[in-house]
Structure 1
Amino acid sequence: RNVESRENSQNLNIDAAREVLPRNDKVSRLFLKLSKAYRKAPLDTMSEMKSRQFQILAGRVRQLDFEITGDEHQLRSLSQIKHFGPSSIDILRDFFDNDGKCDRLEQFEKGKLK
């Protein structure tokens, strides 16, 4: 009985930690910022669709059971998951290669993306 109680307590602690510290928070925020950028300043007829895709990705990365690190093997594996296309993988690669900066988002913020 004590073992069962202890296991339940550990499971509650793990679940509580996940609620406090969501996975891939920085990556999720990046995709949310890109979603907002495409929604606020549409570049073409595809901007609305891109905005929705980035919003979906923001939620999807929080549901992963691992932390995205930018490892090349991991990025290739991510490309097998729905909504992680070549463009989103390139964005992740850029984000991790440049210490959390994203060229596409910076270009949007500077008004230089066309």
Structure 2
Amino acid sequence: MELNSAIPIWSQLRDEFSRHITNGSWPPGSKIPSVRDLAQMVGANPNTVQRALAELEREGLAFSERTSGRFVTDDEEKISLSRQGVFKSLTDQFTLAMKKAGATLPQTLELIKQQWNEGESHD
């Protein structure tokens, strides 16, 4: 994971961990790796990882069990809403960049179709 110095690390980690939940790599009800393990994986301070995970809990995407660790929520609706938020954020960023570059909507849609189809041929 590459970190952006302009955005707080805990926020970037929260977004990354949220992506694991919304894309299914951390399935509903699954155990989330420990703070120590995540800190080693991402090369961050454990306190920073702890803050990111606490935010996931606040958002309802994760919960703690006192002696067992943290788990992904079983609430599929919460996960779906989070997934839609991720999609919206990515779409907003992409749309703004394309508009700034001077692309029209038809050009943008055609490029998306091409990229989408190219991605399918590599799967």
TM-score between both structures, scaled by the size of structure 1: 0.26
Q: Greater strand percent: which structure?
A: 2
Q: Greater helix percent: which structure?
A: 1
